[in-house]
Structure 1
Amino acid sequence: MFLKLFSLFLIIPLVELYLLLKIGGIIGAFNTVLVIFITATIGAYLAKSQGFLVLRKIQEANSQGYMPGNELLHGLFVLIGGFALLTPGFLTDAIGFSMLIPQIREIYVGIAKETLRKKIERGDVQMQMYTNFRP
């Protein structure tokens, strides 16, 4: 767990900084800032539109009477993708855009489902049924 947090909070920003400096040296500081601003704007729009699409699918699943597990995972990755696009940097932009494209997002969802399945089989995650639930 420590290694994952270490990479998240130290390695990724260092890679982002390196890419920003390298690309900024090639296309110039103003153009780099402009690209970052444009990707954040497009990312916010895509996250909003994809988020509404996923929300509609969740509502459809609920109205048909089944648990929208797949749809919730899609929603999670839309949220992460939108956040990644609002974070300045080229690596996070690439990851964020990939999470907002439904066909590529399906790969992320498949990996997440497989990871969850393995954790449940190993007993790392316990599933509990709540019988005293009151709406």
Structure 2
Amino acid sequence: MTTGAPTPTYPARPRRSRLRTFLPLGIAAWLVLEIWLLTVVAGAASGFTVFLVLLAGFLLGSVVIKRAGRRAFQNLNEALQRGGAPSRSNGGGNGLTMLGGLLLMIPGLISDAVGLLLLIPPVQKGLSNYAERTVERKLREAAPGTLGDAFQQARMHRPDGKVVPGEVVRDEPEPGDMPQDPRPPLTR
């Protein structure tokens, strides 16, 4: 009986996250739903009406993004002048307003509805508070301590998931020492 080379054992591949599994499927379903809804509206009204709705959404989204960008730049300028951090005077800040404007600019009726929903201040405030609580909870679960500890923990992990504690010690020459050149000097 002959035996071949032993089969190498590889570590098990890490499980694919749910987000990476279902996000492409969700985007595809959203695109199909948007196209179907546009064809239904075009059949009920006309193609020109759908074109006007999409054009109005694009123009409104560009105006919203422009105003939110100006407001963000103005807040940053005021904060730099007084030497502090930018304030969050409007509920969710300018990020959610810009996201709402971007969703308005994307062709489709569902994205327009979600974009308009994000422009409502109570929705912005609630979504902002929810996101802030979620990020804080995830940071607490990840590694107890400060944010710097979390970054230190991330640096110590190898791609295969094993933790490698330790330090890097470099042998650096003293300031007065001349480095030795391994090549012999050139002669004539």
Band of TM-score, shorter chain: 0.7 to 0.9
Distance in 2 (alpha carbons) for counterparts of 1:62 and 1:15: 45
Could you say which residue in structure 2 is the equivalent of 1:133? Answer: none
Q: Which range moved further: 53-62 or 16-25?
A: 53-62
% identical equivalent positions = 23
CA change 1:29–1:45 in 2 (3 A) is same
Distance in 2 (alpha carbons) for counterparts of 1:64 and 1:111: 30
1:91 is matched by which residue type in structure 2? I
Contact 1:24 1:32 in 2 (8 A): yes
Could you say which residue in structure 1 is the equivalent of 2:100? Answer: 81
Unaligned runs of 5+ in 1: 131-135
Unaligned runs of 5+ in 2: 1-18, 152-188
Q: Which has the higher contact order (CA 8 A, sep 6+)?
A: 1
Match for 1:128 among 125, 134, 148? 148
CA change 1:76–1:63 in 2 (3 A) is same
Compute the displacement of 1:102 (Å): 3.5
Post-superposition Cα deviations, 1:11-50, rounded to whole Å, max 9, x if no partner, equal 2212211211111111111101111101110111122112
Between structure 1 and structure 2, the one with the greater Rg is 2
Compute the displacement of 1:70 (Å): 4.4
How do residues 1-135 of structure 1 correspond to structure 2 at under 5 angstroms?
A: 1-3=19-21, 5-68=23-86, 70=88, 74-123=93-142, 127-128=147-148
Q: How many residues align?
A: 128
Post-superposition Cα deviations, 1:53-107, rounded to whole Å, max 9, x if no partner, equal 2332333344444444847x62322332222111100111111222234343222
Higher helix share: 1
TM-score by length of 1: 0.76
